[in-house]
Structure 1
Amino acid sequence: MTTNTDVLEAFEARAERRNARRDFFKAFGTASAIAGGFALVNQATPAEAQAAPSDGDILNFALNLEYLEAQFYSYAATGNGLAANLLAGSGTAGAATGGKKATFTDPLVARYAREIAADEIAHVTFLRQAIGATVAAQPAIDISADPNGAFSTAARAAGLIGPGSANPTATAFDPYASDENFLLAAFIFEDVGVTAYKGASPLISSKVFLEAAAGILAVEAYHASLIRTTLYAKGMATPSLMLVEATEAISNARDSLDGATDLDQGVRPTGTGQTIASNIAPLDENGLAYSRSAGQVLNIVYLNRAAVTGGGFFPNGVTGALRMSAAN
């Protein structure tokens, strides 16, 4: 199993500037890297795109991502996953495998993990109640540190571990091994929620559901800001950890999956004032948060830039109507 130092060195070795991100995964075909957000405009196929998703479809898609976040944070914070009464529903139910309690040495990071876990469990509970009889069951979720698991597959596809990388003998990335590894994994997931709910808002017809989505968006933005700020602060305090560079490598990786548009950003400051500024809020030129489609998000969580219906963090795909990733 790779050590935290090994992983961070690998992130540094693989990090690229944004002007090269479009070519980041050419060498790896369709097996590409790590997670991002999901505006809920389905871009899977022309036939599927003809029918606009219902509010229930949108909320069930959001719920799948909340299952992933809630399971990861719950295991990391407490060593336990979601309660059994939060898993059943329509579609093929699955288990969350590979989660475990994280090794925290910074008490603040441990407290952040517990707080975010509680929030994400509340999101799952709320969405399940809001959706009602058509609620989607939790699909199979891989949050393991196994060499063949989603985290390690993503790291290997990105050239962070394995032959030809800066860490040729490393075989796995363990998000539970340290404060830094946990924060990097959280950085992957938290930027998902912000872009997801922001993009979903124009598609939700019910004002009640729209208000609820706006409320979850605000919480996801708080989480993302907390994680990004902590990574930036730790990276500035201890440059040898290479945390800022690691966020850029992850950003490049997930941005490579979602088509031609250059959206994603790490925490490295850009533009004027780079020596004193940070990039805690990833925004467009108008100061607005960006969005991704359901298909783009599935590319990222399936770890595949092709049009498929499962893989990566969701080995058998998500449950519900919106299941196919985009063809990028």
Structure 2
Amino acid sequence: MGSPASTAVAAVVVVLLCGASARAQDMDKEWARPPYRGFFGAPGSMLPQSDVDLLEFPLNLEYLETEFFCWSALGYGLDAIDANLTGGGPPSIGGQSASLTPFVRDVATQFCYQEVGHLRAIKQTVRGFPRPLLDISAANFGKIIEQALNATLDPPFNPYENSVNFLIASYIIPYVGLTGYVGANPKLLTPQARKLLAGLLGVESAQDAVIRTLLYERGMTRLASYGVGVAEVTAHISDLRNALGRRGVKDEGLVVAPGQGPEGVTVGNVIAGDHLSLAYDRTPEEILGIVYGTGNPTQHGGFFPQGADGRIARGFLV
């Protein structure tokens, strides 16, 4: 029989081997399939392929947010700010300057440049991919609002028409990316990847909180010609995203039913969260179903007429 010390060492080795085996299985589940095993990333970074995939996937949403906020605030998109960050991807469809109050334009401008920074941060860590074709046209946003309200609107909803419409359109996008970051966090293997994701999640969460707060202040305001209030519209948008995500309730409007607010005490719901007021999580599959507007990650459309990019998104389209 070996000494106590040798026995302890052997036990540690067994634990390490078991841990390594479990981690390898996790990587297999999270997009680390042959022949892609190994360490990849931007020059100077060494990340497992699963981390690369999970950090590249959000580029789809970051490109979308950059284009919408920059066009709305400035009247131009990423090509005019830093064409290198586009990776040569096609220009977005339908972007235009929005008719905003000076205050809301200031906020939108800050969001615009924050999203540019997010693109830089991700591409400094992983190679990324060119900007996909994005549809940020008034017509596309109009279809989403009609789908949410289950009604044909006359005149059609136009996110660029005024500040309230812009804020409602803004409500549609950042929250989806936020839930994706929450979902990806426990699947990342390296501190470098987790640090980047935490930084992205912090700012995306703050953007969503600002949008929700500005809308909450206007909650009883009725949208001209539609006979529906702002808070009611957000509830319908959240219901639509829940339906398209197909994984139950992971989305809540600005006002909820009695007993469903924080600790079951409030009906006001300026920040969405579960029964413990923790942020909801979503998988890439759920996110694609939502941003495609189809509820199906294999059927592109909506904001991504030709589909999202990256190995995770492409894996659903083949």
TM-score band w.r.t. shorter chain: 0.7 to 0.9
Do residues 177 (structure 1) and 170 (structure 2) align?
Answer: no
The 1:260–1:201 alpha-carbon spacing in structure 2 relative to 1, beyond 3 Å, is closer
Match of 2:234 in 1: 247
Match of 2:246 among 238, 246, 259: 259
- Checking the alignment, whether the CA contact within 8 Å between 2:145 and 2:237 is kept in structure 1 is no
Do residues 320 (structure 1) and 316 (structure 2) align?
Answer: no
Match of 1:223 among 198, 204, 207: 207
Distance 2:240 2:166 in 1: 18
Distance 1:220 1:270 in 2: 26
- Give 1:283 deviation, angstroms: 0.9
Match of 1:95 in 2: 91
Do residues 205 (structure 1) and 198 (structure 2) align?
Answer: no
Identity %: 35
Do residues 142 (structure 1) and 126 (structure 2) align?
Answer: no
The 1:130–1:307 alpha-carbon spacing in structure 2 relative to 1, beyond 3 Å, is closer
Match of 2:176 in 1: 192
Do residues 235 (structure 1) and 219 (structure 2) align?
Answer: yes
- Give 1:67 deviation, angstroms: 0.2
The 1:47–1:119 alpha-carbon spacing in structure 2 relative to 1, beyond 3 Å, is closer
Q: For each residue in 1:104-155, what CA deviation from the matched residue of structure 2 results, as whole angstroms up to 9, or x when unmatched?
A: 1x32211111111111111011111211xx3211110000113xxx323323
- Give 1:49 deviation, angstroms: 6.7
- Give 1:303 deviation, angstroms: 0.7
Match of 2:109 among 114, 118, 123: 114
- Give 1:261 deviation, angstroms: 1.3
Distance 2:174 2:129 in 1: 22
- Checking the alignment, whether the CA contact within 8 Å between 1:299 and 1:325 is kept in structure 2 is no
SS in 2 for 1:245: helix
- Checking the alignment, whether the CA contact within 8 Å between 2:31 and 2:53 is kept in structure 1 is no
Match of 2:42 in 1: none
Distance 1:278 1:159 in 2: 21
Distance 1:217 1:108 in 2: 24
Structure 1's unaligned 5+ residue stretches are 1-45
Match of 2:121 among 126, 147, 152: 126
Report the RMSD for the aligned CA atoms in angstroms. 2.7
Match of 2:298 among 288, 298, 308: 308
Q: For each residue in 1:146-194, what CA deviation from the matched residue of structure 2 results, as whole angstroms up to 9, or x when unmatched?
A: 3xxx3233234345553xxxx3x44x33111110110011111121122
Larger Rg: 2
Distance 1:313 1:116 in 2: 19
The 1:276–1:307 alpha-carbon spacing in structure 2 relative to 1, beyond 3 Å, is closer
- Checking the alignment, whether the CA contact within 8 Å between 2:87 and 2:131 is kept in structure 1 is yes
- Checking the alignment, whether the CA contact within 8 Å between 1:258 and 1:299 is kept in structure 2 is yes
Distance 1:260 1:192 in 2: 14
The 1:49–1:57 alpha-carbon spacing in structure 2 relative to 1, beyond 3 Å, is closer
Q: Which amino acid aligns with 1:285?
A: H
Number of paired residues? 266
Distance 1:307 1:199 in 2: 16
- Checking the alignment, whether the CA contact within 8 Å between 2:174 and 2:207 is kept in structure 1 is yes
Distance 2:253 2:149 in 1: 18
Match of 2:70 among 70, 74, 77: 74
Higher-helix-fraction structure: 2
Do residues 299 (structure 1) and 294 (structure 2) align?
Answer: no
TM normalised by structure 1 equals 0.74
Structure 2's unaligned 5+ residue stretches are 1-27, 38-48
Do residues 56 (structure 1) and 46 (structure 2) align?
Answer: no
Distance 2:265 2:189 in 1: 45
SS in 1 for 2:138: coil
